[in-house]
Amino acid sequence: MKLNQNYSNLKDSYLFSTIAKKVNAYAAEHPDKKIIRLGIGDVTKPLCPAVIQAMHDAVNDLSTEAGFHGYGPEQGYDFLRESVKGYYEKRGVALQLDEIFISDGAKSDVGNILDLFDRDNTVLIPDPVYPVYVDTNIMDGRRILYMDANAQNAFLPLPDPSVDADIIYLCSPNNPTGAVYNKEQLAAWVNYAIQKDAVILFDAAYEAFIQDETLPKSIYEIENAKRCAIEFCSLSKTAGFTGTRCGYTIVPLELQRNGVSLNKLWLRRQTTKFNGTSYAVQKGAQAVFTPEGQKQTRETIQYYLENAKIISDAMDELGIWYTGGKNSPYIWLKCPNDMQSWDFFDYLLENANVVGTPGAGFGKNGEHFFRLTAFGNRENTKEAVERIKQLLK
């Protein structure tokens, strides 16, 4: 037998597993220290009351023969897909129900979508970026081209017509930099993809953090995007579903390559390999889109954005260059004294007992940068900021 040799080309462990291991080892050696985790983008606020009520009701449904639900539709229940459709409609994006696929989160879909594409495709990925895009393509053995995101282009690389690519990853608001493409910039990507016959995989997981109304929350706000883009979104950061797990992926019916509908392929893939997200979770997800759920989740997002402001104000005070934190829960900062990002990680962990994410973990252009998340609770965020100020002033 032969194993997938491509796995030998991966780093030993996934970025956030490596960090967790390091932090756990430090905690075991220093049980007296209070470590504050602003590393992985995991939320701390509980699910909002509207979601909790809907999930309780769903569990009650499951306790009766009349309300019981076994296997659900692989593509998701219509009640949730209708809610997602309505959410897009508010932004002027008209979707058909068949274009919406409910899943257990964006991470799985972003990885699984590659089932649709031949290994002999060239992939274009911004650097730095969410490591899942790179790792899943390495697993398949695809050729990867990187585009530089840096301070010069405000971490928003634009298409280079001399580069040929088949699959393009865009994440906006960006993880890790917090940078957000405007409509003109996204339109440049849509035009490029159509010219190259490429498909854009657009990760909108952080769309709910966009405060500036002029910025696009969905790639389908751009003309012709349905001809070239698949969009992934998730309730993890929008509504605290990191542990509850629910996301949705839009594969437009118009999206065809070589006369084949990608929507049809994804449906075939999902019906074969996925048995749907659980009924109770989908009921909870539906509640996110009700007026009450929207109000409650927006309040939580404002809370995290206030944390982001506390962190960025501290960076201003310290004279540290940073970006993000305004339309995004991430603050992307330059390591002081040009430190290497893993060295700064150790320095901060050991001297302030604060955990962040080293920029180098997101790609070579992340070297000398560092990511802090605003998803902590207020008290810990304030304490972490005080410790950082003490250490770096």
Binding site for ligand MLT (CB under 6 A): 40-42, 107, 130, 175
- Phi/psi for 193 (5° steps) reads -60, -40
User: 275: exposed, middle or buried (C-beta count within 10 Å: 0-12, 13-18, 19+)?
Assistant: exposed
As measured in angstroms, the least distance from the Cβ of 241 to ligand MLT is 11
CB of 130 to ligand MLT, least distance (A): 6
Between 49-62 and 279-288, two packed helices, what is the crossing angle to 10 degrees?
Answer: 150
- To 10 degrees, the CA torsion angle through 16, 20, 26, 27? 140
Angle at 99 between CA 98 and CA 102, to 5 degrees: 90
* 19 vs 310, beta carbon nearer ligand MLT: 19
5 φ/ψ angles, rounded to the nearest 5 degrees? -65, -20
We find the least distance from the C-beta atom of residue 132 to ligand MLT, in angstroms, to be 7
113 and 103 Cβ atoms separated by less than 8 Å: no
**Half-sphere exposure of 355 toward its Cβ, with a 13 Å CA cutoff?**
23
The CA distance from 185 to 190, in Å, is 9
| Cβ closest to ligand MLT, residue 36 vs residue 222 | 36
Q: Name the minimum Å distance from CB 330 to ligand MLT.
A: 8
Query: What is the smallest separation between the CB atom of 127 and ligand MLT, expressed in angstroms?
Result: 15
C-alpha to C-alpha distance for 315 and 334, rounded to whole angstroms: 10
Nearer to ligand MLT, 41 or 252 (CB): 41
**Residue 329 amino acid letter:** P
In the complex, minimum distance from the CB of residue 25 to ligand MLT, in angstroms, rounded to a whole number: 20
Q: Which is nearer to ligand MLT, 92 or 243 (CB)?
A: 243
In the bound state with ligand MLT, the residue whose beta carbon lies nearer, of 147 and 205, is: 205
Phi/psi region, residue 35 (left: phi>0; alpha: psi -120 to 50; beta: rest), is: beta
- Our CB check for ligand MLT shows the closer of 87 and 133 to be 133
Whose Cβ is closer to ligand MLT: residue 108's or residue 261's?
Answer: 108
Give the shortest CB-40-to-ligand MLT separation in angstroms. 4
